[in-house]
Amino acid sequence: MEDPPQAALEQPSSARAWWLAMRPKTLTVSLVPVLVGSAVAWSQTHTFHWLPALIALLAAMLIQIGTNLHNDVSDFERGADTPQRLGPPRATAMGWLPADAVRRGAWVAFGLAFNFGVYLAWYGGWPIVLVGLASLAAGWAYTGGPRPIAYLPLGEVFVWLFFGVLAVGGSFYLQTLSISLVALLAGCMIGLLAAGVITVNNYRDLDSDAQAGKNTLAVFLGRRGAQWVYRLEMLLPFALLPLLAFLAGRGGWLALPLLLLPAVLVQLGRFRREAPGPAFNELLARTAKLQFLFGVLLAIALIA
C-alpha cells in the first residue's frame, strides 16, 4: 500500500506535531552512547554513579531534540524541506507549527541541556565543559550558520564523533574521571551505526537535496558510493568486536552483538534493492533500532 502524499495528511494535534518534530524514532541514538560508556566503566571499575549518568542522558537527548527542531525550521527556510518531500513530514514545512515557535523550542532544548551541563561540568571538570560546549555548538551548526554541517559532506562525521566517540568517551569519563582506549573504540563502533541513520536519510533525499544545494555525502559520492558508505557503517562495528574483546578482556562475551548480523545483512540487501522513496523511512527507523539493539547487546556483554 502506498503512503499518502504528505500534502494530503491530516493535521495532527499541536502536541503530536511537536512530538513528530522531535523525531522520536531516532532519539535512541543519544541514549545508546550513555549506556555503552557506563557499561565500559562498570566492566573496568565495577562501580556505577547513577546521577551523572542520568543527567548526561537527559542532556544528550535534549541536544538531539534541539538539533532536530532547529533542522526542522532551518531546512524549511532554506527550501530543502517542502510538503512534497519523500521523508517523514516536517512540522514547519507542513504548516503544523509556526517557524518561530519551532525555533524557540530548539533554543529551549539547548538551554535545558546547558543547565544540565552545568552540573556535569561541576562533576567532571574541564574535559566535560569542552565536550558539552562543543556538542551544543555542533547541534546548532548542524543546520545553522552560513555553512551548515548538514549542507556539506560532513553529516556522517558529525554524528560519528558527537553521538559516538565523544558521547561514549564522555559517559565513561563521568563514571571514572579517566579515559580509556576501550571506551573510545566502543564509541567508534556506536558512532558508525548512528552515522548509518544519516546515510539512509541522505540517500533517500539525494535528488531533492541536490536541487536545494544541499551537498551531503550522498550527493557528493552518488548512489553507488553512498551504498558502500552504508555497508561500511553497518559492518565495521562487527569487524571491530574481536579487537574490543581483546582490549576489554571480555573474551567470547563480546560475540553477543553478532546475533544482530543476520538482521543487518537483510537491511543491507533492502537498502541496495529499494528504490529511493517512502520505503526508506522504514529503513531509517530500522537502522536506528539496530544501533540501539547493538548498543544494548554490547553493554550486556561488557557487564556480564
Q: What is the pTM of this model?
A: 0.91
CB neighbourhood size of 172 (10 A) = 29
The whole-angstrom separation of Cα 75 and Cα 195 is 19
| CB-facing half-sphere around the CA of 107: CA atoms within 13 A | 7
Closest-CA residue to 73 (of 105, 95, 97, 102): 102
CA–centroid distance for 133 within its chain:
18
- Contact between 18 and 277 under an 8 Å Cβ cutoff? The reply is no
> What spatial distance separates the first Cα and last Cα of the chain, rounded to whole Å?
44
Closest-CA residue to 174 (of 32, 36, 37): 37
Q: Which CATH number does the domain 13-303 belong to among 1.10.287, 1.10.600, 1.10.150, 3.30.1390?
A: 1.10.600
The whole-angstrom separation of Cα 219 and Cα 225 is 9
Parse the chain into domains and list their residue ranges. 13-303
- Between 50-77 and 14-21, two packed helices, what is the crossing angle to 10 degrees? 100
- Contact between 173 and 105 under an 8 Å Cβ cutoff? The reply is no
pLDDT reported for residue 5? 44
HEC profile of 55-112: HHHHHHHHHHHHHHHHHHHHHHHCCCCCCCCCCCCCCCCCCCCCHHHHHHHHHHHHHH
For 302, residues 6+ apart whose C-beta sits below 8 A from its C-beta are: 36, 39, 40, 42, 43, 186, 248, 250, 253, 254
pLDDT tens-place values along the chain, 304 residues long = 334 444 445 788 889 999 999 999 899 999 999 999 999 999 999 999 999 999 999 999 999 999 999 988 887 877 666 666 666 778 888 889 999 999 999 999 999 999 999 999 999 999 999 999 999 898 888 877 777 888 889 999 999 999 999 999 999 999 999 999 999 999 999 999 999 999 999 999 898 888 888 899 999 999 999 999 999 999 999 999 999 999 998 778 889 999 999 999 999 999 999 888 788 889 999 999 999 999 999 999 999 8
| CB-facing half-sphere around the CA of 244: CA atoms within 13 A | 28
In the predicted model, what is the mean pLDDT of the chain?
Answer: 90
The whole-angstrom separation of Cα 304 and Cα 300 is 6
